Amino acid sequence: MSYEIKLPIFQGPFDLLLFFIERDELDIRDIPIAKVANDFLDYLHHLELMNLEVASEFILVAATLMQIKAKMLLPRPVIDELGNELDPRDELIKHLLEYKKYKSVVATFSELEENRSLLQKRGNIMDEIRLIGDRNNVEAELQDLDLYKLLKVYMKVMGRYEAEKSKPIHTVTPYAYTIEQQKEYILESIRKMKKIAFSDIITEMPDKIAIIFNFLSILELLQTQHITIIVGEGFNNFWIEEKVMSNA
Question: Using one digit for the tens of pLDDT, what is the confidence trace for 28-49?
Answer: 788 888 888 888 888 888 777 7
5 has pLDDT over 70: no
In this predicted structure, what is the pLDDT of residue 246? 57
Least confident of 52-61, 90-99, 152-161: 52-61
Contacts for 181 with CB less than 8 Å, ≥ 6 apart:
none
Burial 96-118 (b: 16+ CB within 10 A, else e): beebbeeeeeeeeeeeeeeeeee
In this predicted structure, what is the pLDDT of residue 62? 82
Question: Average pLDDT in the 92-116 region?
Answer: 81
Strand, helix or coil for residue 75: coil
pLDDT tens readout for residues 172-210: 667 788 889 889 998 898 888 888 888 888 888 888 888
In this predicted structure, what is the pLDDT of residue 122? 63
Domains in the chain, please, with CATH? 13-116 (no CATH), 179-242 (1.10.10.580)
Contacts for 34 with CB less than 8 Å, ≥ 6 apart:
69
In this predicted structure, what is the pLDDT of residue 2? 39
Cβ(218)–Cβ(240) below 8 Å: yes
In this predicted structure, what is the pLDDT of residue 152? 80
1 has pLDDT over 50: no
16 exposure class (CB count in 10 Å sphere: 0-12, 13-18, 19+): buried
In this predicted structure, what is the pLDDT of residue 112? 80
